[in-house]
Structure 1
Amino acid sequence: MLFRQLFDSESSTYTYLIANLTLKVAVLVDPVLEQVERDLKLLKELDLSLRYCLETHIHADHITGSGKLRELTGCLSIVPHNAAADCANRHIQDKEILNLGNIVVEAIATPGHTDSHMAYLINGDRILTGDALFIRGCGRTDFQSGDAGTLYDSVTQRLFTLPDSTLVYPAHDYRGHTVSTIGEEKRWNSRFAGRERASFIRLMNNLDLPDPKKMMEAIPANKLCGNVATL
């Protein structure tokens, strides 16, 4: 299996390239529109055919590259169940499996940051957590039908029940971290460690964060798979 973590500095977004080198097929998770050229170049260099663009959720801080990549490669655009993106080829359900030969991608419903959000467990040993769980943090819950209690349940009941050795790869990082483990986050993530559900809700409801800079542009565009031309 090829596994690459790619970074967009403007939005601090991680895109993940996962590929079966024998079959020469790949999936990109959370692609960014401004990085489509970079991603296509890498796919070409590695002689890979893009089969899927997979989203963890409808993003508010960047415009997805999935629509453009679908136009250029013929890949399928996949979003979580109940995500407001009728443009997608497919809505993936909780516990549904995508296969790239012997590579298994399992969807794990983790709502709370938004009302439709998936984490993706890769071959049972690494989890792409999207905005549900960051390294020593988590995504906010104050827009897009987010709910702090739901996020607490998603992280503690769906993610923290994975083996402690499971590698954690988030959709964003703002402090230079690239990877963690479930065991580390259970012990050191101050949003969750030693915190009861009610305390987490109070914390999240009082963060008072500014809106993402691209929010008014990104959410409508991402409901159209990043097709800004039709807005």
Structure 2
Amino acid sequence: MARFDGFLIQRSYTMIFKQLFEPDTCTYTYLLGCDRTRRTVLIDPVANEVENYIGRLKQLDLNLLYTMETHVHADHITGSGLLREHLGSKSVVHRDAGAMCADLLVTDGILLQVGDLEIEVRHTPGHTNGCVSYVVGDRVFTGDALFIGGCGRTDFQQGDAGRLYDSITKKLFTLPPDTLVYPGHDYNGNTVSSIKQEMAKNPRLGAGKSREEFIAIMNELDLPYPKYIDQALPANQACGREPAVRHG
């Protein structure tokens, strides 16, 4: 499927939508804005791309309202803290994410209004306890829960393969089949999939694979230790800023 970039007509309003890519960690960040109010969110911003985000927002005359995390990342440092300092945006994470520095702690089913855009929070744990996916009209932003042809790993943080299977099958595969899937990462140059495609072809849990089959597949993965985890986890629990050092 082709990359979507620019202005999209959806539900009788105009949504500004851009898919941004950070090559070092193969991370996708998503910019979603309301054309009428110029209010905007960034999903999963990366710290070393903050200047680029600020320039793009200025170029498009957009007001950043929220930075929305899909989870506490282990592979990169979030840009939410820096963006809050520069632009006054509010950071959003799930209440189970372990990032109490956030401005807004959300739960399953919460609806966030950003101008004419309605963003639904779906709790999709399994990669971590605090993973969420964001549903906006005909698309879902799945973070590290569901990838194109894959899914997030379950062998560290609060990973639980059975819980991830339940999240994907009950919270994501129940969306309309034509719902577009935009993941948090892709390592093969893919930009977008669909619920129908992942249900049919995802090698880890598509084609009707059972919960037991999925758990067995995940248990057999031999994945390297994430190279940025020791820096990323403590920083992300502090919304991307260095944790404060107490002096006696």
Q: TM-score, normalised by structure 1?
A: 0.98
**What's 2:164 paired with?**
151
**What's 1:81 paired with?**
95
Kept in 1, the 8 Å contact 2:126–2:161? The answer is yes
Take 2:92 and 2:223, find their aligned partners in 1: how far apart are those partners? 30
Q: How does 1:172-187 map to 2 (within 5 A)?
A: 172-187=185-200
Deviations 1:157-204 (A, max 9, x none): 110011100000000000000000000000010111231101111111
Match of residue 15, structure 1, among 29, 38, 46: 29
Question: In the alignment, is residue 127 of structure 1 matched against residue 161 of structure 2?
Answer: no
**What's 2:149 paired with?**
136
Kept in 1, the 8 Å contact 2:132–2:143? The answer is yes
For 1:34, give the aligned amino acid: N
Take 1:95 and 1:216, find their aligned partners in 2: how far apart are those partners? 32
Take 2:149 and 2:243, find their aligned partners in 1: how far apart are those partners? 37
**What's 2:244 paired with?**
230
Measured after TM superposition, the shift of residue 22 of structure 1 is 1.2
Q: How does 1:57-68 map to 2 (within 5 A)?
A: 57-68=71-82
Question: In the alignment, is residue 109 of structure 1 matched against residue 123 of structure 2?
Answer: yes
Q: Secondary structure at the match of 1:228?
A: coil
Take 2:141 and 2:51, find their aligned partners in 1: how far apart are those partners? 23
Measured after TM superposition, the shift of residue 57 of structure 1 is 0.1
Take 1:130 and 1:6, find their aligned partners in 2: how far apart are those partners? 14
**What's 2:104 paired with?**
90
Measured after TM superposition, the shift of residue 105 of structure 1 is 0.4
Measured after TM superposition, the shift of residue 230 of structure 1 is 3.4
Measured after TM superposition, the shift of residue 228 of structure 1 is 2.3
Match of residue 66, structure 2, among 33, 48, 52: 52
Ranges in structure 1 where 5+ consecutive residues have no aligned partner: none
**Root mean square deviation, CA, Å:** 0.9
Identity of aligned residues (%): 53
Take 1:191 and 1:81, find their aligned partners in 2: how far apart are those partners? 28
Ranges in structure 2 where 5+ consecutive residues have no aligned partner: 1-14
Between the two proteins, the alignment pairs up a number of residues equal to 230
